[in-house]
Amino acid sequence: MSSDPHLHLDLSLTEEDGMSFSGLNFSEGDLNSLLSGLGTDDAEPYEGELEASEELHALARTLSGQYVDVVGAFVRQVFSSRPGRAQPGNQVLGALDALLRLSRETGDLPLQAALSTVHDVIKSGVPEHRRDFNRFLTQLRDGVLLFADLLREEDAERLKGLILYQDRSLPLLEELANLKGIGPKRLERLYCAGLFTIEAVAEADPADVAEVTGLPRKLAEQVVDSTREFAERQRRSCVVELHQRVQEFHAVLPRLNPANEDDRRMLDLARQTLAELQSALSQIEQATTR
């Protein structure tokens, strides 16, 4: 990789202020907005020469990392929804196929293996019975963690933070701690009941929350309502952040200078992959909001 500090394409989200994809519902308008930067000319131009082969290799991992992040969040979102909702598996597989082609062209065998694992899990089909969800999610989580091992240390920790919950210092629980009547003991009950992610609480029935945690019914209702409001704020923050990342990507991509026919082919594949991603996200959104 070039030592130029501007060459790193960081399209990922950070955990600052609790921002993540997990449990967030994106509308079609949101998706069009965050991807609109691909067709605009208002991004700041990037100055400098890029080594096409090295940058395309990094680009394959950058796009894949961003997409695996999204896949994990959207699949988890579908799992936490009501039974009978449409599942976006086919659309996910189509975009993963594009990413796999890109990883093969760049010769990135570890990336190809990680993507293949996630692809195979999703291709096996979303379980029809809720009792099988945990096994399916565990397999998907393991595939994402396999990818995380390919990243820089700080990026790997960020991605693992979206998948693994190792303590109670979680954004949602920090938010709920502001409710009157929610103290350390009740936060502990929520955590032990598995109610520490946005999707788990936002989709829950207040009566069920009260039953499994022992919270008064009125307080359980406040917990669910506050979580839904928190999810909406997070969704809006994510859209703004993603739009900025896309603008950065849009500024760098035209500056890649392919040195030979292989590099030009990989650059074309990168563009096609991003188009596949846009299409898949739009279809996933339509499927999960019906």
**Quick one: pLDDT at residue 190?**
81
Residue 7 is assigned to a structural domain of this protein: no
Q: What is the mean pLDDT of the chain?
A: 66
Write out the H or E segment, with its range, that includes residue 133: helix 133-148
Nearest to 69 by CA among 22, 29, 36, 30: 22
pLDDT digits (tens, 9 = 90+) for 106-161: 888 888 888 898 888 878 776 776 567 667 767 777 877 887 787 666 667 766 66
Give 262: exposed, middle or buried? Use CB within 10 Å, 0-12, 13-18, 19+: middle
Q: Could you tell me if residue 194 is left (phi over 0), alpha (psi between -120 and 50 degrees) or otherwise beta?
A: left
Q: What are phi and psi of 18, to 5 degrees?
A: 75, 15
**Quick one: pLDDT at residue 180?**
92
As given in the structure block, the two tokens for residue 126 are: 């979303």
Residue with tokens 């990342």: 245
Residue 231 is assigned to a structural domain of this protein: yes
**Quick one: pLDDT at residue 96?**
76
| Residue 243 in this model has a pLDDT that exceeds 60 | no
pLDDT digits (tens, 9 = 90+) for 187-209: 877 876 667 677 778 888 899 88
Question: Residue 49 in contact with residue 257, Cβ under 8 Å?
Answer: yes
The angle at the Cα of 242, spanning 239 to 150, to the nearest 5 degrees, equals 135
Q: Quickly state the pLDDT bin for 168 (edges 50, 70, 90).
A: very low
Q: Which structural domain range is residue 281 located in?
A: 27-35+44-288
DSSP 181-248: T--HHHHHHHHHTT--SHHHHHTS-HHHHHHHH---HHHHHHHHHHHHHHHHHHHHHHHHHHHHHHHH
As given in the structure block, the two tokens for residue 111 are: 């990336």
Residue 50 β-bridge partners: 256
- Count the residues in the chain: 290
Residue 256 is assigned to a structural domain of this protein: yes
Residue 3 is assigned to a structural domain of this protein: no
Residue 257 β-bridge partners: 51
Bigger pLDDT: 50 vs 205: 205
Residue 5 β-bridge partners: none
| Residue 230 in this model has a pLDDT that exceeds 50 | yes
**Quick one: pLDDT at residue 123?**
81
Rounded CA separation 227/172 (Å)? 7
Q: How many domains does the chain have?
A: 1
Residues ≥6 apart with Cβ < 8 Å to 150: 61, 110, 111, 114, 156
Bigger pLDDT: 74 vs 269: 269
Q: For the full predicted model, state whether its pTM sits above 0.85.
A: no
pLDDT digits (tens, 9 = 90+) for 248-283: 666 666 777 777 787 788 778 877 776 676 665 555
Residue 15 is assigned to a structural domain of this protein: no
Q: Quickly state the pLDDT bin for 50 (edges 50, 70, 90).
A: very low
Rounded CA separation 183/196 (Å)? 14
